[in-house]
Amino acid sequence: MRSLLRFLVRNYAFLLFLFLEAVSLAMVFSYNSFQRSRFLNSSNFISASLYNTTSSVLQYFELVKVNEQLAEENALLRTQIEGFDFDGQLLPDTVVFAKQLADTTFVFRTAKIINNSTNKQQNYITLDKGSKDGIQPDQGILAPNGVVGVVTGVSDSYAAGLSLLNPRWSISAKLKNSGYYGSLHWDGENYRQANLNEIPIHVDLAVGDTVVTSGYSSIFPEGLLIGTIQTFDQPQGENYYNIKVQLAVDFKTIRHVHVIENIKKEELTDLEKTVIDGAGSN
């Protein structure tokens, strides 16, 4: 007993080392099942408010670029409105228009990015709005020029989520002109590029083809810009292309984003669940 005690005292550094490493590893693994990512992540109050302060200083340096982006988006929206012929149809159609509004599936909210990275293997995004502004997990994050990520954890006034630059998440994407869909996945190498998988080799492709969201995921509506095809090749003996997509969003410059809520999501998942359960019981 005494020699055991002496052994413990003499080797306390090694035992403390093992203990601390075990604690660290336990944290790594418990974080990996990232349903628990709400704990101690950057929607955590102290770190989020620190990032909020620094970002409120840093955003002044980017005002010019942000203004340009907003002006571009304005111009785009104005061109789209110009396309509609309101003359003479506005009054009779008002009722229809109101009905369409009531049928809206997606609600957009603005938010500001207060922490973001592009240089890690797993990149995360923190937003300055949280559950009291209506933001919930599983809502999409969208920049003026394309898809950015998805919210995974919220606190009262902050939200944190996975960036598209995170291999833990992939997004359902399709080719705009042919309609074939696959999954878009980031491989951790270049923050301007992601891989589009599962596009069969009989599809005609061209460099520069537009890749958009497929709308199959209930997080994003259909047809939001993701990027354009940069290179593609046909691996020997495979049925699918290797496609590199140039992402439309430059993750280093985004600051103002929209968070998308699908207000019919519950209805949709409930319906899908009853169909799948029904099929399973037969």
Partner 1 sequence: MGREVIKYTIMFVGLVLTQVLFLNQVQVSGFVNPYIYILFILLLPLNAPRYVVLLGGFFVGLSVDIFSNTMGIHAFASVFIAFLRPLIVRAITDREEDRSDYPGLAQNGFSWFLYYTALMVFLHHSVLFFIEVFTLSDFFGTLYRIILSSLFSIFVIVLSQFIVFRD
Of residues 35 through 64, those in contact with partner 1 by CB under 8 A are: 37, 40-42, 44, 47, 50, 54
239 binds partner 1 (CB under 8 A): no
190 binds partner 1 (CB under 8 A): yes
101 binds partner 1 (CB under 8 A): no
Least CB distance to partner 1 at residue 39 (A): 8
25 binds partner 1 (CB under 8 A): yes
Considering CB under 8 A, how many residues would be counted as binding partner 1?
36
Residue from 28, 91, 95, 102 touching partner 1 (CB under 8 A): that is 28
Least CB distance to partner 1 at residue 116 (A): 9
67 binds partner 1 (CB under 8 A): no
230 binds partner 1 (CB under 8 A): no
17 binds partner 1 (CB under 8 A): yes
Cα of first residue to Cα of last residue in the chain, in angstroms, is 65
Q: Considering only the stretches 17-25, 88-96, 174-182, 210-218, report the one whose residues sit in contact with partner 1 under the rule CB under 8 A.
A: 17-25
Give CA–CA dist 68/62, Å, rounded.
10
Nearer to partner 1, 117 or 228 (CB): 117
Least CB distance to partner 1 at residue 203 (A): 29
33 binds partner 1 (CB under 8 A): no
| Binding-site ranges for partner 1 (CB under 8 A) | 12-14, 16-17, 20-21, 23-31, 37, 40-42, 44, 47, 50, 54, 117-122, 124, 160, 188-190, 252
